Chains A and B, each alone.
Chain A
Amino acid sequence: MSEVLVLIDHVDGAVRKPTYELLTIARRLGEPSAVFIGPADKADEVTEKVKKYGAAKVYVVDDAQIKGYLVAPKAEALQQIAGQALSNDGLAAILIPSSAEGKEIGARLAIKLESGLITDAVDVQEGGVATQSVFAGNYTLTGKVTKGTPIITVKPNSAAPEESEGAGAVENVSPTVSDAAKKAQVVASQPRKATGRPELTEAAIVVSGGRGTGGNFEPIEGLADSLGAAVGASRAAVDSGWMPHSFQVGQTGKTVSPQLYVANGISGAIQHRAGMQTSKTIVAVNKDEEAPIFELVDFGVVGDLHSVLPTATEEINKRKG
């Protein structure tokens, strides 16, 4: 069976959930081979994890020599692994997490391999038919790559991870990295502080706040914690300096597609919708009954978030006992 390369999404060897989603999707297209570009001493641990989701092979690229450079060396490494797979049993597709870095790796790889690229897929089915959500979630597209090896970047929450034991045969790869790929140097890197809450893009529930919070996110965080949710923010809240940019939901922030999205003090501008419109259930609290966010909601409360949210939070905590 042809291989399907899956680039493992991880932070210093800690595998992130989208990896398992990608491996699950990969099994629809061929035989999954996971690619780990990271610290070699974490390879065993990572292999154990990805095996459980069907990785027949695990290509290990020690990143000691390349982690100080942006994107380009990773694309070169993948190019070489793809070449190897192509000359073995063929290569059905390359699946990459649709993060900012993932998309750029896919972009460079598409040019290198003369292959078509689909970004931000929310589903990939047999035959490589990919679904995308476009125009702020107002349209759904299905499409395919028609040239070369399909390169598809896939968004988080695009599949429910299903376990399936794979062989997990490790193959160490030492790619040659060109000097040209080492010209953009990471001079400093500061890992994002853990919030103790679920990852925004992976969370089942997201509770967001906008300008209507007036800068006080306590009611938002309180409700989020009572529901076990991640916290999000509108750009207005981020631009005001109330929340870091990594919390922003929308066109130029994160796209989320949780089971439940609760928008508080957010008007519902098209750029905000672009990041949350595909949420399964949408709830809003806004004191203006004319706010466009109410056009989207399954349930809405016209009221002041500063009184509605704390009362609701208290009630939820009471029910949970």
Chain B
Amino acid sequence: MNIVVCVKYVPDATADRQFESDNTVDRVGVDGLLSELDEYAVEQALQLKEKAGDDAEVTALCIGPEKAVDAVRKALQMGADKGVHVSDDAIAGSDYVATSLVLAKAIEKIGAPDVVMCGMASTDASGGVVPAMLAERLDLPQVTLASVVETQGDQVRIKRDGDTATEVVGATMPLVLSVTDQSGEARYPSFKGIMAAKKKPLESWSLADIGVDASQVGLDAAWTTVEETTARPPRTAGEIVKDEDGSGATALVEFLASKKFI
């Protein structure tokens, strides 16, 4: 079984995330890491591999700037077998459509996988749309937003917490699968895993390597533009009271009444 897991390198959410002067996300000035939500995808990919046995292979794939190779390294340390990092100056500023094109072309070059595994959303853009776009481009069934993944041979069943119902969705491999943060804690890289990762194959591809023309990607080719980015004005400090013998409850009710919520 061949599994490709798509991992994104994102600015740390707990740091001060910001934009560049061209309104693209600052991916260099802010420390980055493997998107926490993609750790769940790596975990599920590894569990599929462990279940399938020895000849199964997990390839971690990342599109992003030079530093983004760290996301692939982390996936290798967790247990992925191979890494592919697609990096090209022309890619900077790509929108979902272009990102999904580059991912799809890279996946085709890696070879027809049985499962393309994704996270539920990236923690920076948080679109949650790339997996559906990949399914559309690769003409594969999409089995997305799984909180539980079960397989039997090439049969996949997932539980999905839909917007208005909880659903069980089934499909046959090959397919695109995305998993939520409900799918189970991701493992930490062990010391052995960190050492072993250094010897694992890690390829670096340019756009030419996957047959994508530079004019199809990047900021200028994006089908959407960002016109303005505005930092939220700092909230004016609110009133904070200490509760003493029920005074807090009274003050709270007074506040709610003054704002006409009661």
Q: CB within 8 Å of B: which residues of A?
A: 11, 70-72, 75, 99-101, 103-108, 110-112, 114-120, 129, 134-148, 180, 183-192, 205, 227, 235, 245-246, 251-252, 259-260, 270-271, 274, 277, 281-283, 285, 289, 294-304, 307-309, 311-312, 315-316, 319-320
Contact = CB atoms under 8 A, between A and B. Distances in A.
B248 to A, nearest CB: 4
Contacts of B252: 283, 285, 299, 301, 308, 312
A302 B130 CA distance: 43
A67 to B, nearest CB: 11
Nearest to A199: B164
A245 B165 CA distance: 12
A185 B169 contact: yes
A142 B226 contact: yes
A70 B147 contact: no
DSSP class of A's interface residues: helix, strand, loop or mixed?
A: mixed
Contacts of B123: 251
Where chain B touches its partner, the secondary structure class is: mixed
B136 A107 contact: yes
B262 interface: yes
A191 B164 contact: yes
A104 B141 CA distance: 13
A280 B93 CA distance: 32
Interface residues of B, number: 84
A100 B162 contact: yes
B243 interface: yes
B145 A100 contact: yes
Given A11-B164, A252-B181, A184 B243 contact: no
Contacts of A307: 243, 246, 249
A303 to B, nearest CB: 3
Contact of A72 (B13, B135, B160): B135
Contacts of B152: none
B170 A294 contact: no
A144 B224 contact: yes
B229 interface: yes
Given A252-B181, A297-B238, A103 B246 contact: no
A111 B100 contact: yes
B18 to A, nearest CB: 8
B212 interface: no
B261 interface: yes
9 contacts: A111-B100, A120-B127, A145-B223, A190-B166, A252-B37, A296-B238, A299-B251, A301-B252, A316-B256
B227 A302 contact: no
B161 interface: yes
Contact of A289 (B96, B240, B246, B262): B240
A299 B246 contact: no
A177 to B, nearest CB: 14
B241 to A, nearest CB: 6
Interface in B219-262: 222-232, 235, 238-243, 246, 248-253, 255-257, 259, 261-262
A13 to B, nearest CB: 12
B175 interface: yes
